[in-house]
Amino acid sequence: MAVAFNINTIAIYDRTELTKHILYGDQRMTDDDGSFFKEDNYIPNFREDGIFVIDNINFFETKAPAVYKVYSEYGIVQAVQYIIGGDIKKNNNIISYGRFKLDKKWAESDMNFLAIIGDYIGRIFLKERKHD
């Protein structure tokens, strides 16, 4: 069986309620509340289309220590993140795909595909949570 993506975690962060929901991966990772998104000027790193690609978390070691600490604790070394709906100003929800070991850089087509899937998963998940 071929694996399309080497992804170890999928999580949704609600930046308004400061909650994290693990959709795939180690449930112990729910300990962080996503407050690091409000530190270190993190959100402006997202592209205009709502995608943020992290090819190596070492990038954050001095630039965004709060993010580096959280990712290091959970073993995440690479990630693709997407603001659900693609609009940073209108949405407070982020889906994050994480890897535990360095792999080749994310291909543009992979990033776009993960954003599309993440947007769909995220909207359904958040809609279901509102009905709970």
Instruction: Please tell me the predicted confidence (pLDDT) of residue 3.
Output: 52
Rounded to whole angstroms, the Cα distance separating 85 from 131 reads 19
Q: State pTM to two decimals.
A: 0.87
Which tens digits make up the pLDDT trace of 80-115?
A: 999 988 777 777 789 999 999 998 888 888 899 999
> Cβ(98)–Cβ(78) under 8 Å?
yes
Rounded to whole angstroms, the Cα distance separating 89 from 109 reads 25
Helices (H), 51-91: 60-63, 65-74
Query: Please, what is the Cα angle at 31 between 22 and 70, to 5 degrees?
Result: 95
Which tens digits make up the pLDDT trace of 20-36?
A: 888 888 776 666 777 77
Q: Tokens standing for 121?
A: 């998963």
Rounded to whole angstroms, the Cα distance separating 89 from 102 reads 31
Segment 46-69 shows an average pLDDT of 88
Rounded to whole angstroms, the Cα distance separating 6 from 62 reads 27
Q: Which long-range contacts (CB under 8 A, 24 or more apart) does 85-88 make?
A: 85/50, 85/119, 85/122, 85/123, 86/49, 86/50, 86/115, 86/119, 87/50, 88/43, 88/46, 88/50
